[in-house]
Structure 1
Amino acid sequence: MPMPPVSLKARALRLLSAREHSRTELARKLARHAEEGDDIEALLDFLEKNNWLSEERYAESLIHRRSARYGNARIVAELQQNGIKGDALNELKAGLAEDETARCCEVWRRKFGELPQDAQERNKQMRFLLQRGFSSKAIQAAMKGVDLDEY
């Protein structure tokens, strides 16, 4: 006897039990499984009303997962891609900016650990940090071997 198809609500709850999702991201994932007559927006409204889906929790979770490895530009881009906009995004940007230099120094220290010996090695290290989304100010501080107590 074949198993009955899983409802959209069950899929949504399974996804949300694994980790936080933004409304946009969850809608995108559920759209693949929606059949004619399914109202994804109504389901998302229901999940938000019951506090099972929260943009604020999603943003905090993403920042917590990514901040140890990535810079502000990359984290903000991912937040925007997943539907976080407006005042909430500006507030999150301000919070991230406070410790970007310290995070950049820590990423640099874990990856390289010592100052570059020549220009080629310096450029390699700077490119690595730029690709991680760190600002040029934070990269310059990391490359100088700044004492983290100053920040």
Structure 2
Amino acid sequence: MSPDPDNPSEQQKREQILSKLPLVISSVSPQKKNPDRFSLYHEKTFLIGVSSQSMLDFQINKGIKLTRTLFMQIIDSEEYQSAKDRAYRLLSGRDHGAEELRRKLIKKGFSPESTRRVIDEFSDKNLLNEQTYAKKFAADKFQLRQWGPKKIEAALYNKGVPKNVIQDVIQNLKADIDQKDACLELALKRRKHFLREPDIYKRKQKIFRYLAGKGYSPDSIQRSLPKIIEQLNA
């Protein structure tokens, strides 16, 4: 599809401004809908919108010359600040691993460089900690949804958590929980469902498939089956 000359993209608008630079900023106006942002003009031509932080960082004011270099520095800074704001909002909703946060920022349209800077800064500030995130994720999934170690391990892997962190967290989880008791509790919650199957062999198969799907090891399921069958029939 060819570009629409009547509706240029943001990139096209930037290129149009770049082709005219350098230009002197003749006026600076606060934006009506966002008082923390300012619009820069050369005479009646809009140049760029910037945050108050960029105004301070680059000492922007009326009368300075907006060069191509300064323009691109402002663009990069604005994107970085926007990516950082987005990351804060995501983390305020729930914890994220570094890779999960990176994927979301990239998907939102932020550049790899801005995204990398945000991830690095947040990691340095300990706002992102893979070990803490993975440990909390594992505990929440086990306690709230009764996922077993295998399902938790697969989920952490899909979220991009480093392999060594996953191994450590899963090892500690296995040491802290009783998979046999967890299997029993899960199966008893579905008592009516399993008792609909009159054939005891097929009933055991259904229980096994269900618990395996929840992420429990074959050994844990096999060890829990006798007690499950006993209590289902009680």
- What is the TM-score when the length of structure 1 is the normalising length? 0.82
Quick one: distance in 2 between partners of 1:115 and 1:138?
19
**Shift of residue 115, structure 1, vs aligned partner:** 8.0
What residue number does 1:25 align with?
Answer: 100
CA contact (8 A) 2:97 2:129 kept: yes
Quick one: distance in 1 between partners of 2:33 and 2:193?
60
Aligned residue-pair number:
147
- The verdict on how the C-alpha distance between 1:37 and 1:137 changes in structure 2, with shifts beyond 3 A counting, is closer
Unaligned runs of 5+ in 1: 147-151
Letter in 2 for 1:29: K
Structure number with greater CO (CA < 8 Å, separation at least 6) is 1
Quick one: distance in 2 between partners of 1:35 and 1:92?
31
**Shift of residue 58, structure 1, vs aligned partner:** 1.0
- What is the TM-score when the length of structure 2 is the normalising length? 0.55
What residue number does 1:92 align with?
Answer: 169
Quick one: distance in 1 between partners of 2:166 and 2:203?
35
Amino-acid identity (%): 25
Which residues in structure 2 correspond to 1:2-151 (within 5 Å)? 7-36=82-111, 39-68=114-143, 69-98=146-175, 99=177, 100-112=179-191, 118-145=200-227
CA RMSD of superposed structures (Å):
2.7
Unaligned runs of 5+ in 2: 1-31, 38-78, 229-234
Bigger fraction of residues in strand: 2
**Shift of residue 137, structure 1, vs aligned partner:** 1.2
**Shift of residue 113, structure 1, vs aligned partner:** 7.8
